[in-house]
Chains A and B, each alone.
Chain A
Amino acid sequence: NDWSIIIHGGAGVIERGDMDAQTEAAYRAALQSALEQGGAMLRDGADGIDVVEALIQAFEDDPMFNAGRGGVFTADGRVEMDASVMIGSTRAAGAVAGVTSVRHPISLARAVMEHSPHVMLAGDGAEGFAAERGLELADQAFFFTERRWQAMESQVQRMGLPVPPRPEGAPDPEPVNEGALDMMEREHRFG
């Protein structure tokens, strides 16, 4: 069979004027890198599940994307992550929801698929399963980015809610350019 790959990094009401050239170049470079990594693996005959996990791990580590590090914050100041994976030939599937301490949620979703009789695990139970399987854990500071924090701050103030305390170990506040904030406001609607 011919190998094939398609990826997305999220959607938002992004008008062409919203993104400065530097930011656009950075997103294009990230997509290019993912395509090249995935294409090389597939060309070498890698299994699809290994390619999907590897590429999504790279996105989860890239603070530009709303997954893993760089994920958006909840109203009470935490990064809570969801992930899922499915294999078409067997309909095997795994998913996790509301995890806060696993560096690569996609790997935990794969572990649920391959090492449990379940399809979805959530919250503390999913975190416990991750620890049992020896997945890499990370504290909330690891996932912290200032631009996402400030986007959450302005959103909770619009909702009339108190701004939560910054996570322990998070860096000191730093300025974020307004244009990027606006764009994130729109992005948040689409996960």
Chain B
Amino acid sequence: TVGVVVRDQSGVTVAGTSTGGTTAKRWGRVGDTPVIGAGTWADERCGLSATGTGEYFIRFNVAASICREAEYRALQTGPEGAAQAAADAMMDTLLADGGDGGIVMLYLGEPVWAMNTPGMYRASWGEGREPYIAIYD
């Protein structure tokens, strides 16, 4: 699975995800990638792309829930750290239920990622920031 989230100079956030799914899938199995709100989400402030065991991301409506939780936390305690806390909380919830994977997101243009696997191919960059690439924790 691959995912890209950008905020352009007009301030518009766009998220996209694409995948081949899971090896040896049967019966036309579809995971979270094409399910808006599960594997991909974008609103006025937040954009997210996910990768993981799709069934959990669908059942927990992960992408939209994390963005909504980030918004709620930002209203309570300010935007700083709100998105990271929301993402971390959701990944912990997924893990507790047996689901695993990771997410990348932009919240108000700030990069956030969270995963509950030791490795995820990920990278971020932005105006006034240095490019950053990581694969492992």
Q: Evaluate contact between B24 and A156: CB separation under 8 angstroms.
A: yes
Greatest chain A CB density within 10 A among B5, B14, B23, B125 is at B23
Q: Evaluate contact between A83 and B6: CB separation under 8 angstroms.
A: no
Q: Evaluate contact between B101 and A95: CB separation under 8 angstroms.
A: no
Q: Evaluate contact between B19 and A7: CB separation under 8 angstroms.
A: no
Q: Judge whether A172 is part of the interface by a CB distance below 8 angstroms.
A: no
Chain B contributes a number of interface residues (CB within 8 A of A) equal to 79
B81 to chain A, nearest CB (A): 17
Q: Judge whether A137 is part of the interface by a CB distance below 8 angstroms.
A: no
Q: B residues within 8 A CB of A11?
A: 1, 51-52, 100-102, 115, 117, 119-121
A: contact size bracket: 35 or more
Q: Evaluate contact between B22 and A39: CB separation under 8 angstroms.
A: no
Q: Which of B13, B24, B100, B123 contacts A190 (CB 8 A)?
A: B100
Task: Give A13 to B43 CA distance when docked, in angstroms.
Answer: 30
Q: Judge whether B44 is part of the interface by a CB distance below 8 angstroms.
A: yes
Q: Judge whether B2 is part of the interface by a CB distance below 8 angstroms.
A: yes
B57 to chain A, nearest CB (A): 9
Q: Judge whether B7 is part of the interface by a CB distance below 8 angstroms.
A: yes
Q: B residues within 8 A CB of A59?
A: 2, 4, 18
A32 to chain B, nearest CB (A): 6
Q: B residues within 8 A CB of A53?
A: 16
Q: Judge whether B104 is part of the interface by a CB distance below 8 angstroms.
A: yes
Task: Give A46 to B124 CA distance when docked, in angstroms.
Answer: 17
A→B interface (CB under 8 Å): 1-16, 19, 24, 27-28, 31-32, 34-36, 38-39, 42-43, 45-49, 51-53, 55-56, 59-60, 65-68, 70-76, 79-89, 91, 93, 95-98, 105-106, 109, 119-120, 122-123, 143, 148, 151-152, 155-156, 159, 161, 184-185, 188-191
B→A interface (CB under 8 Å): 1-26, 28-36, 39-47, 49, 51-54, 100-106, 109-113, 115, 117-129, 131, 133, 135-136
4 closest A-B pairs (Cβ-Cβ)?
A71-B20, A14-B119, A9-B121, A188-B23
